[in-house]
Structure 1
Amino acid sequence: MSAIESRTAVRNRAIVGLPQPLPDELLYSAIARSAKYLGQWGPKSLSREIYGHQGILACPDLPGSLGLLEEVSNGVWGITTTQLALRHTLVGYYTHFRSVEQRRQVLIKMQVSSSNLHLSLGICASNVIAPSKFHLCAACTADDMSVYGETYWRRSHHLPGVLVCARHGLPLSVCQFPFRPKGRHEHIAAHPRMLDNVIDYMSPPEYGAEWQLAKASVALLDSPVADQVYDYRPALKLLGYVGRHEGTAGLKADFERFYGEGLLKYFFKPRLDGNRVGWIDEIVRKPRRALHPLKHLTISLFIERHPRRLLESAVPQKEKTWGIYRVEHRRAEARELADRGFSTNAVAAKLGVDWKTAERMLSSLPVSEPRRGVQQDERDQGAWLGLRRENPNASRTELRRLDPSLYARLYRADRQWLMTHGPLRLAANNGRNSARVCWATRDHKLSETVLAEVASLRSRCPPLRASKNRVLANLELRALVHHYGDKLPRTVATLNAMCEGVPDFHLRRLTAEVSKQRTSGRPLSPSAALRRAGINAARFADGGAALLAAAVSASIFSQDKN
């Protein structure tokens, strides 16, 4: 029995008095409202009453552990957990431009946990600005108070790029409570007194794009998966932005003029150079990965309302052609043409496909390899469990590195089983629940580690440059120093002082070679010394004379010191 099944079995009664989720309400809001109906004001006690477990985190946009709500949703609310996710979370918005299979995998993960959904969906890595605080609409709040006697948090008010209410067109009010709760288990219910300052934006008066974007964003919440490849290049080519010199620069300038700085500062984060629309470079290239929904919506609205628009449709779509040789009716058409005497190239031209595709249509389909046997799956699962027992303190990544082929086989055969049977480490032992990091102590230890690594690199033979990049890569500290360099001043200072640049590395190699010559008593010519040190004298204006003089001085100083 899994953890979810065991926890659900404990709660064998319906929750009396639990309020129904209201239209367009976030699941987070429905749970927050239920506190006053159930009399559970403590965050842990409320979570225990709803989920049957007090350790469930409060997540407004993509909540997880929905499998624990199976009894509540079916018995009290009358809907399944999948319907609950699609109607009362933001999963429909974030998976609209992905495939049906990808949405299915996301819904499966939400049944167990959503700890990595923001990473796998690209939300964290995107430069799109997500809501940082809860939003309310004054008109919607007034309607709620008259109809329900209370108000609630709506899905449509918490989508990226939505600044106005899609229903009333009024600017949204920004509440003081953060959209990512500071209390990890805390659910905050909406109230009319939370109406605060409205979003202060400035839109070009001739366009009014903010209301159109709000309506288009809300439409994605309950729409089916597009499951199509969106290629905007044909539309942009007809508008004069693709296939011409400086076309991309012109597209960025017109895009910024269309929306204005007053709107774009709420949509996209700026790069280091201050540019907010650098992602347009991906639009004018062949689509290779899924974009954030807001990027699709903004570029679609720009094309649709462009004054030089020459298209019938605002968003052209590219038909999928991969795997077409497996479609039976297309294979029948190809065989019929071949029987009539058409060559392979003629069949390809007739069907509008590549000649290689036509050749595959006329040949027999490749025989797929038989699926792995059940016994092999059981052996791999037993090996994984044994590896997990032998390394109880190892993380999933560390276990994967111990046996990469075993992990790959299990990942392909039964991914759900592999994710369920993860490391044995308890949640209380991970970094989040442990004591806070003492950055001063960590900085001191890391600086000593950097010194040791630099000394190790400088002692290598043949010589190896102790560059900052190589030191951080060997110690696996690139991400840490990049994100928390301000908290590690001693480590950063050690890196800057001890790591070598190219001139320093040249001088060290040449000094070592000069010292070797002086010790052997067989001095070489300057060109031979440079050549022995692996230095190209032609790259120096003086033929390396200054570098050689510095190496001789350093060698003499080193011998005198010894």
Structure 2
Amino acid sequence: MYNFPMPYPDELLYSTVARAGVRMGITSPKELLEEVFGDKMVVATPDLPGHLRAIARHYPKSAELSVETLAYRHTLFPLYAPFVQEERRQRCLSLLACNTRGKTHLSLGVAASRIKPPSVLRVCPGCVGEQIARYGEPYWRRDWQILGANSCSLHGKLVGTRSPRYGIHRHSFDALTPALFPHEGQKNCSKEDLRLGRRIRDLLDMRARPSPSYDQWSQFYSALASDQGCAAGRHMVHSLILEKILAAWSNQWLKDVGLPVANSPSCWLRALFQKHRKSISYLEHLIVLEAFLQAEWRIQNVVRQVARLPKTKPAAKLTAFQRPHITPDIQDKRQMWQFYLKRYGVKNGRRLGGGAAYASLYRHDRDWLLQINKRYRAGIRRRVSRVDWDCRDRELFEKLRDIQRAQPMGLDSPRHSKRWYLAQIGRMTSIVKHLDKLPLTSAFLAACSEDIEAYQIRRIRVAIHAVMESGLPLKRWRILRVAGLNEIRLKTSARNFLNEVD
């Protein structure tokens, strides 16, 4: 089995696989995946890659590279681990060991985050020069690909490359070369970028430890606001919290990183100081902690402090033998709520005067309240379609035909799959969900989408034409080389087509 080179400090596993392919002389992405992972369908993921167990097997036992070690030292997993429940952290580590199929991004909140990742992989040209001088070759570093960390503390702003974060060729691991990025002078980074970058690197260097619970984080931020004079008893004074954030960070910088603040109920800042019901982005945590703990502080110490807080046990559910005693006050609340319920229904009854009775019953007589509400539940109204599906079907059909005509059918043209056609239109999800209402579009996709066999046959035809134009003999090996194929990857139909040419 091929032994990978030992990873450089803090590099992405993405870079390790890419360099392994270069050193082994493998030019085909599929062959590289088969050699490294034993699976040709592995997707090149730059932040939270899966199949770590397969990667660990390539290293000698003396390296002591377990799945947990690889996840914490060579991926971006440490950014999310302290802010999710311990059960979820363990489950995500198990997912990273095998084929995640995107579940890790969903579990850690990356897919639904309000902070959008850059569209391309980024580098620091100054660091690349130092890598070449020290190691003889450059490699992707994981701290270049972090959302919100836009600069290098030594050289300046990070620079975008021509390598997309998630490109059309999803299975290709691209090695870093100086030709991928411009070599103009780097721009200076702002003070905010430097401060945040230092905190992110501290978080990235954290080693594996159990995660605090959501309730422990809630307790910590409640105490933090109280210590800083931003709370009145148990209530948070959000206007004072907002002032502290804007005193530490400029509003324009917060907008640039995707976290603008405002004194509104929907602001992300309020959710941080309320009861935590889901994981919150590391960027939100670091921005608030830097504003409140302006002295020298370390995220490792904060996580330890939070983990030492008491864990609140969930309230026990009432059993049949623990039903509340019906007091005169509860009886009055029942009569009041029935009056509003019969007259206005559940939703309007709460809004038009019955809210206090509803809240009291929900707290002290929940079973009766839920049972009585079922009797007056409003029926589901049938939605009237506001879309002219016939018109939309014709428009999409014409767009797909224009895309088909405009796209050259050369060797550089990608496979015209169903996914590719929908990506060109730009409304993939809305179309896929309603294909049953779009007969022309469905028929076009069924007839014109290329599967792998049709794609290989198309490449062989183009290669035959190119060889004939060059005046060279039509040899099987020459056709395969021009087409970018080999005997191992050929499908049955493509092999039969090539045999007919021979």
TM-score by structure 2 length? 0.55
Q: 1:185 to 1:36 in 2, by over 3 A?
A: same
Q: What is the identity, as a one-letter code, of the residue corresponding to 2:274?
A: R
**Equivalent residue in structure 1 for 2:152, among 165, 169, 173:** 165
Deviation, 1:152, is 0.7
Structure number with higher relative contact order (C-alpha < 8 Å, ≥ 6 residues apart): 2
Question: Which whole-Å CA distance do the structure 1 matches of 2:200 and 2:128 have between them?
Answer: 20
Q: How does 1:173-252 map to 2 (within 5 A)?
A: 173-196=159-182, 203=190, 208-223=191-206, 224-225=208-209, 227-228=211-212, 229-230=216-217, 231-243=220-232, 247-252=237-242
Question: 2:135 aligned with 1:145, yes or no?
Answer: no
**1:49 aligned to 18, 25, 35, which one?**
35
Call closer, same or farther: CA 1:52–1:160 in 2, change over 3 Å.
same
The question of whether the paired residues in 2 share the 8 Å contact of 1:268 and 1:277 is answered with no
Residue of 75, 83, 89 corresponding to 2:69? 83
Query: Does the 8 Å contact 1:137/1:165 carry over to 2?
Result: yes
Closer, same or farther: CA 296–270 of 1 in aligned 2, 3 Å: closer
Question: Equivalents in 2 of 1:262, 1:490: separation in Å?
Answer: 45
The Cα of 1:147 is off from its aligned counterpart by 0.9
Relative distance call for 1:276 and 1:293 in structure 2 (3 A) is: farther
Letter in 2 for 1:54: K
Does the CA contact (< 8 Å) of 1:48 and 1:54 recur in 2? yes
Does 2:66 match 1:120?
no
Distance 1:489 1:48 in 2: 35
Once the two structures are TM-superposed, the CA of residue 100 in structure 1 deviates from its matched residue by 4.2
Aligned pairs for 1:325-336 within 5 A? none
Select 1:289's aligned residue among 263, 278, 290. Answer: 278
Aligned to 2:458: none
Out of 66, 69, 87, the position equivalent to 2:52 is 66
Quick one: which of 309, 313, 327 aligns to 1:319? 309
Partners of 2:187 and 2:258 in 1: how far apart?
16
2:6 alignment partner, one of 16, 20, 24: 20
Is the alpha carbon distance of 1:118 and 1:238 closer, same or farther for their aligned partners in structure 2, counting shifts above 3 Å?
Answer: same
Judged with a 3 Å threshold, the aligned counterparts in structure 2 of structure 1 residues 288 and 78 are, in CA distance, closer, same or farther, namely: closer
Unaligned runs of 5+ in 2: 315-377, 388-426, 439-502
- List alignment gaps of at least 5 residues for structure 1: 1-13, 325-461, 472-480, 493-562
* Amino acid of the structure 2 residue aligned with 1:293: Y
CA drift of 1:489 comes to 13
**Residues 127 and 50 of structure 1: is their aligned pair in 2 closer, same or farther, counting only changes over 3 Å?**
same
TM-score by length of 1: 0.50
Matches within 5 A, 1:333-348: none
The Cα shift of 1:189 comes to 1.1
One-letter code aligned to 1:232? Y
The answer to whether residue 253 in structure 2 is matched with residue 263 in structure 1 is yes
Distance 2:236 2:312 in 1: 32
Partner amino acid, structure 1, of 2:114: N
Distance across 2 between alignment mates of 1:198 and 1:241: 44
Q: How does 1:147-546 map to 2 (within 5 A)?
A: 147-166=134-153, 168=154, 170-196=156-182, 203=190, 208-223=191-206, 224-225=208-209, 227-228=211-212, 229-230=216-217, 231-243=220-232, 247-252=237-242, 254-256=244-246, 258-268=248-258, 278-305=267-294, 317=306, 319-322=309-312, 465-468=381-384, 484=430
Cα deviation code 1:379-410 (max 9, x no counterpart)? xxxxxxxxxxxxxxxxxxxxxxxxxxxxxxxx
On the 8 A contact 2:230/2:237 being kept in 1, the answer is: yes
- Cα offset for 1:110? 1.2
Equivalent residue letter for 2:200: S
Deviations 1:187-219 (A, max 9, x none): 11112233337887984xxxx232121121122
Instruction: Supply the AA of the counterpart residue of 2:199.
Output: A
Question: In 2, distance between residues paired with 1:491 and 1:270?
Answer: 40
How far apart, in 2, do the equivalents of 1:293 and 1:276 lie?
A: 21
Is contact 1:163-1:199 (8 Å) kept? no
Count of aligned positions: 323
Distance in 2, Cα, partners of 1:117 & 1:464: 35
Amino acid at match of 2:7: P
| Residue equivalent to 1:111 | 97
